Structure 1
């Protein structure tokens, strides 16, 4: 029995040993460069002339432009590091005439890196390759080795303390500046689970020998890679993978080949569809950011393959049942093209559908007939408007376009429509449709644009599906989606991205795959805008600064001086030459503004401000005025100076976050009845004191919407408080007249209700401002003298500036809405400025009221600025904080 067991065990051992050697032989026999490519590679570039391609690419105007952006220059920087280990341009020589692959993969949430793979079985016959490897194997500098799954992995330290990791196995060289990408390559070979098993089609497709290489796209991993650049997700259901040939010219990059998609992917919706010519350029507005073009020879087949969700299908069935017609009937009026144009307006993309019709009049009549069949709707209640001789109607059924065309029309809850020649135009918003009508009538269309027309002639004319992107028009939409850590870099080089005026991505169905072409064209050579400001003075401190530059004088008419506070709570005074006069510890940050008073009534000015709990009065030599600082209460929020009769007998109105109001004498001692005066909610901004007809009053607005008018003795005026029932976070505006009845007090709710009352408590006006989005935030901004105001509307990454009649003054889109501080400088004439300090991105935008930058380029800064204008010389001084530096810019 034991003998039989031993024989069986021996046979089993021999079988396992034989299987091991057979498996090892088979793996070695089937070994290829592709076996080392990790499954999670997003892009794989293949070439046997990569050295020449990369050097030629450097000479391309388009590539030169793009590689000015640091994140797109990463591969060249890494090759320079490799060359620093081996000397000269050895990598380029090494990589020529060898099969080489370069992969791009995510290495963390917002990072990516490259993996270099080369087949070196012929390298001994080539001097350049041999020298490269010999120098890399024996580098000058520190080198370490380790074992990973039986592979000897080497790591070399570069001069800048980076590390290049590589291994050589049989005839293959694999390396990366990210060690675990090299480990991924080893695991791919050991487990036989590589990119090759994920993308077996790469062996079947025909490869062009005379191009600049091949690009393989693993679309699910491309989505992951995109997160290294943008917060927006690519459509996860669009396609599966793609193989494309690369072509390079001086002003363009082209890719062409095949994409693959199964029944679960949206690209499958054009399967078997025969395309038709692109003929609708004469009605596509030049303001279009993104355009989707669908063409077909059989409209019914095309529509039958579009996606309809369950809710839409159910709604369609109810319409058929209740009204006796099928939305699908519209297909008999369709010709061979459908366009979906997007314009970026009011901080969001607004869509316009273009239907080519074999009889546009009959299609309009069909829509009209649908309206007339609606029950319980009077004929005279249907929307109809004549605009520029065009009749505009509105479909009375919500979501009707999506019932006809599926998910393609999901952004059309409402549908305004009109006809133009052989087309019917449908918009979800009436203003967009009117603007497109104007553009067509004014010939502001692609057909009339020479650049656009030439580009359209270069693309495939009968592709089933085409996506066209105008980067310059789309940049306002694209920029806000960029990762915060890249925003500064992308803004600095936005002129490069805007120079890519035309991008076309096209698909056509061919058997079980989709012919794919991508063309990126740079219409003009980009030039960096030149700054029109001069940096004239800089003072560098030991610590970062935490306040704006406060401009002060030690006496009326004296030269300007500057006060700043650093993060150690040290106050610094500098003279006009940026020389430090004194520094002083104040223990806590300044809250709000720093102002000046003539405390001693001798023409010399002192500096007044509050911290979180105390009021400070500092003289021009940096010494505390006697009895100061004076503790008031915790959580102070604002300070206002009161001078009842103009005789410099000052009172200080100090508020807290909890809704307390202290009014003190000029020694900081609270007055009777104001120690404190308590309100039911937090107080907005500082208290406003004014005098009308010899009567003193204080205006106070609370966050819960209450408006209080109180006498200097603490008595409430008749008609107050007013309960507005609004939530208020914005500043307010007070226009004092000759009487209480003619004075005007304006407040603005966070949701956009603008309310004006007189000082008798009578409501003068109430209006709802237009809300671009449901999450829009509204604020009033007073100028420095509080005589004028403007209104801002912030939504997502955009801002619109309007007046009190809700008329738009200008709109801007490239902002981070997280932390934008706004200042309004009214200097008279055309010299009014709206300063946007985008503190999240450390960018300062000084806009005039036409939306033009005062400085050509935004300034780099992390605090609000101070601005001065000299009318006679027409010169601006911009005082700016950047980290630990105080900087003065001059603009002529």
Structure 2
């Protein structure tokens, strides 16, 4: 991605001015074959103003994309030039740069320095100016040659220019480009020895475009566009010559590529014979393409997480294509009515179009309309299908739509990349696509388009900084994961204490527990003796920030480390099983945990050392627990609540003694007890809301719902489901008839979200606190939603059971809603 950086730098080092009519360029005299990257500007002072006032460029400088970038930019402030100038940027070491400015002496001055000295070199005087600031020295060197002023951050560059002044000859190809281009252009060497190419500032195949490239810059608010052309040499096996016989087309790939994809590259191919002939020259081979590819019109590659996929679109899709490439011509699996086949020759596609990718590993193929989609992993194909079903494709994305306005309608080659603040820059060229600040929610877009013409290719590069649209909402499937067996617990988000990212915990009906990272990679799988009861909690046993997983199964109390290993002595097995769900109490948020669960009429409480808490006296109950014990804190006092299947409810203090007296028994509904309005609250089979205050006073309010109603009481908000109607805060949302999970609530960034799933019709819903359904819902799903804020970028992701043995992760685009409440 360093290509982005060079173009970005160039943008801010030039300013839009009227077209120059003077095609003579005396300043070119001082350039040589050593120059790799040149900026041509009509006004150096305007250049500096652009540098100083552009937040994106300053972000690149301040983040230290190059070791000495900030120092070099500060030096520019010492130079006052009201004239044309050429700026040559050269690499002087690993990730270090120096510059040489060539301009007119009469229009130029240098700021007074703290110290000035001079030396004579080949009868010319080199002046050295030292500027001291913040306990460091910045140095400028300058010399006058024939009324031309040369200024540099490097004495060596000045001396080399003097030494070679009689031999300085700008490359002829650069001279020719200067004649046909204007001020406010950038020029860059494209041969393999260029430091730009060696450091991956642009794709390696661009050294086939000629010896030099030039682009004209168009600057607007939040937009940078570069327009130019690449000449063609038909006698050489250059990359763009693969497409010299291909007419530009309106690409169809964006209609199938998910919006969340990255590293998107799309190619139009009209003359396959010519394409393969050039490809064979590039690869120095003789390969005859399979006839299945005779009607290829377009090829695209993209990535989902780290996996590469390929899409081939045909002018006509023949029925026998699949019989030629699919193993046994029979689908290995199916997902939402799309058949998925295993390839009988996994290397066929990679070898046939090897010029379009460095490496492509594919095992599966799936037909979509007149296209074939190839992937290494079946789960990636499911993710594509999920995005097709939700309409969250590249073609429908606001960022791609905005970018197309700056490009030609038809393309021969198109590269596209869009990043939000989830992007983590790893090298210098990545900084343009990184967010300026953590709270920056804008989407950074890069697109590079080549449009074939008779003897050359038009080129358009576009950088956009797009603000999210106010009405933008919806969901995008991020990944799909398949287990060996049907899901019995979860999926549930858990936190990775090392990288702070969220990971996915899930158990199948063979009691295998899985942990996946957020890219879908299986971290570990562990065979348990029984099914997980209740919820899994995360604890910090050793108070060192490292998190463990705590839970009970039917016959075990376990704590696992993040690698899935049991943490002794927290691996207790209980004869006869029948354990209740585990409750974890942390009375004063000091990580002095109490682990509480029941077995029949026995109650167990252990401390963080796995020792029984002898001071807790509530060891026996009259009946088994109906749900996990609860801990509430009201006005500084602790209340432990145990709910029995006999209708009893015990409200105790820390030692297990009765703190609040209650009635003998209640006809509990199938809903958990919770705290609402600082009172212990639950519902009964008659549809009443019962509340008990800390003094033991009881109140009853009829909710006018049937015995099968479902509730959740969190964040002091009561949500009730009766049949297909959801109620809360005096409002209701009428849903389709179905079989629903209990509602659940999440509070993220002071916003409350309410989720519910229709397991019969496979629909997952998400509402705001006012029962207004969010845009993009319902989604396909058959289990409860678990919603979390991503630690990487602050966006909301949720995971839901998909098919019986699969799950899907969605990204939620806040906060557009669809009003379904009444």
Q: TM-score, normalized by length of structure 2?
A: 0.51
Give deviations 1:192-233, integer Å, cap 9, x for gaps.
Answer: 3x5x22x62442465455xx61100123589635888xxx67
Asked if the contact 2:101–2:151 (Cα under 8 Å) also holds between the matched residues in 1, the reply is yes
- Is 1:293 matched with 2:266? yes
Per the alignment, residue 294 of structure 2 pairs with 332
Deviation at 1:517, TM superposition (A): 1.7
Asked if the contact 2:313–2:370 (Cα under 8 Å) also holds between the matched residues in 1, the reply is yes
- Is 1:104 matched with 2:89? yes
Per the alignment, residue 144 of structure 2 pairs with 168
Structure-2 change in CA distance of 1:165 and 1:392 (3 Å): same
Which residue, out of 391, 408, 412, partners 1:464?
412
Deviation at 1:443, TM superposition (A): 0.6
Q: Which runs of 5 or more structure 2 residues have no equivalent in the other structure?
A: 1-23, 470-544, 578-590, 597-713, 716-744, 749-785, 796-822
SS at match of 1:426: strand
Take 1:523 and 1:222, find their aligned partners in 2: how far apart are those partners?
36
Structure-2 change in CA distance of 1:482 and 1:155 (3 Å): closer
- Is 1:850 matched with 2:811? no
SS at match of 2:252: coil
Deviation at 1:252, TM superposition (A): 1.2
Take 2:26 and 2:143, find their aligned partners in 1: how far apart are those partners?
15
Q: Which runs of 5 or more structure 1 residues have no equivalent in the other structure?
A: 1-29, 85-89, 124-128, 317-325, 373-378, 527-729, 765-782, 789-827, 834-847, 858-892
Per the alignment, residue 116 of structure 1 pairs with 101
Take 2:248 and 2:229, find their aligned partners in 1: how far apart are those partners?
16
Asked if the contact 2:51–2:57 (Cα under 8 Å) also holds between the matched residues in 1, the reply is yes
Asked if the contact 2:264–2:416 (Cα under 8 Å) also holds between the matched residues in 1, the reply is yes
Structure-2 change in CA distance of 1:399 and 1:502 (3 Å): same
Matches within 5 A, 1:195-344: 196-197=170-171, 200-204=173-177, 207-209=180-182, 213-220=184-191, 224-225=195-196, 234-239=202-207, 240-259=211-230, 263=236, 265-306=238-279, 327-334=289-296, 336-343=297-304
Structure-2 change in CA distance of 1:170 and 1:471 (3 Å): same
Per the alignment, residue 42 of structure 2 pairs with 48
Which residue, out of 456, 463, 472, partners 1:520?
463
Take 1:755 and 1:399, find their aligned partners in 2: how far apart are those partners?
45
Give deviations 1:479-498, integer Å, cap 9, x for gaps.
Answer: 23459xx99997764666x7
SS at match of 2:204: coil
Asked if the contact 2:217–2:224 (Cα under 8 Å) also holds between the matched residues in 1, the reply is yes
Per the alignment, residue 444 of structure 2 pairs with 501
Asked if the contact 1:40–1:221 (Cα under 8 Å) also holds between the matched residues in 2, the reply is no
Give deviations 1:96-140, integer Å, cap 9, x for gaps.
Answer: 3x3x101111122121132211134xx3xxxxx2xx44x66xx46
Structure-2 change in CA distance of 1:731 and 1:44 (3 Å): closer
Deviation at 1:55, TM superposition (A): 3.2
Structure-2 change in CA distance of 1:427 and 1:205 (3 Å): farther
Asked if the contact 1:505–1:519 (Cα under 8 Å) also holds between the matched residues in 2, the reply is yes
SS at match of 2:352: helix
- Is 1:421 matched with 2:369? yes
Per the alignment, residue 37 of structure 1 pairs with 31
Deviation at 1:853, TM superposition (A): 4.6
Deviation at 1:508, TM superposition (A): 3.3
Deviation at 1:48, TM superposition (A): 2.4
Take 1:748 and 1:439, find their aligned partners in 2: how far apart are those partners?
32
Which residue, out of 120, 124, 141, partners 1:151?
124
Structure-2 change in CA distance of 1:42 and 1:747 (3 Å): same
Give deviations 1:664-709, integer Å, cap 9, x for gaps.
Answer: xxxxxxxxxxxxxxxxxxxxxxxxxxxxxxxxxxxxxxxxxxxxxx
Structure-2 change in CA distance of 1:504 and 1:305 (3 Å): same
Take 2:61 and 2:278, find their aligned partners in 1: how far apart are those partners?
41
Take 2:379 and 2:348, find their aligned partners in 1: how far apart are those partners?
20
SS at match of 1:276: coil
Structure-2 change in CA distance of 1:354 and 1:457 (3 Å): farther
Which residue, out of 158, 171, 194, partners 1:182?
158
Asked if the contact 1:261–1:513 (Cα under 8 Å) also holds between the matched residues in 2, the reply is yes
Per the alignment, residue 404 of structure 1 pairs with 352
Structure-2 change in CA distance of 1:461 and 1:753 (3 Å): farther
Give deviations 1:836-863, integer Å, cap 9, x for gaps.
Answer: xxxxxxxxxxxx9935459989xxxxxx
Q: TM-score, normalized by length of structure 1?
A: 0.47
SS at match of 1:419: strand
SS at match of 1:238: helix
Asked if the contact 2:422–2:792 (Cα under 8 Å) also holds between the matched residues in 1, the reply is no
Higher strand share: 2
Matches within 5 A, 1:740-819: none
Per the alignment, residue 441 of structure 1 pairs with 389
Take 2:51 and 2:551, find their aligned partners in 1: how far apart are those partners?
67
Take 2:122 and 2:454, find their aligned partners in 1: how far apart are those partners?
43
Please report the RMSD computed on the Cα atoms of aligned residues, expressed in angstroms: 4.9
Take 2:229 and 2:155, find their aligned partners in 1: how far apart are those partners?
33
Give deviations 1:377-434, integer Å, cap 9, x for gaps.
Answer: xx49x65222111111121212121232223255432232222223222222211111
Take 1:250 and 1:428, find their aligned partners in 2: how far apart are those partners?
41
Take 1:434 and 1:167, find their aligned partners in 2: how far apart are those partners?
65
Asked if the contact 1:401–1:415 (Cα under 8 Å) also holds between the matched residues in 2, the reply is no
Take 2:270 and 2:332, find their aligned partners in 1: how far apart are those partners?
33
Deviation at 1:464, TM superposition (A): 1.5
SS at match of 1:305: helix
Structure-2 change in CA distance of 1:275 and 1:303 (3 Å): farther
SS at match of 1:458: coil
Give deviations 1:66-86, integer Å, cap 9, x for gaps.
Answer: 6775669988975764655xx
Deviation at 1:95, TM superposition (A): 2.9
Structure-2 change in CA distance of 1:456 and 1:104 (3 Å): same
Per the alignment, residue 646 of structure 1 pairs with none
SS at match of 1:275: coil
Structure-2 change in CA distance of 1:758 and 1:278 (3 Å): closer
Deviation at 1:447, TM superposition (A): 2.8
Take 2:252 and 2:571, find their aligned partners in 1: how far apart are those partners?
60
SS at match of 2:405: helix
SS at match of 2:373: strand
Structure-2 change in CA distance of 1:162 and 1:221 (3 Å): farther
Structure-2 change in CA distance of 1:76 and 1:338 (3 Å): same
- Is 1:395 matched with 2:346? no
Asked if the contact 2:218–2:225 (Cα under 8 Å) also holds between the matched residues in 1, the reply is yes
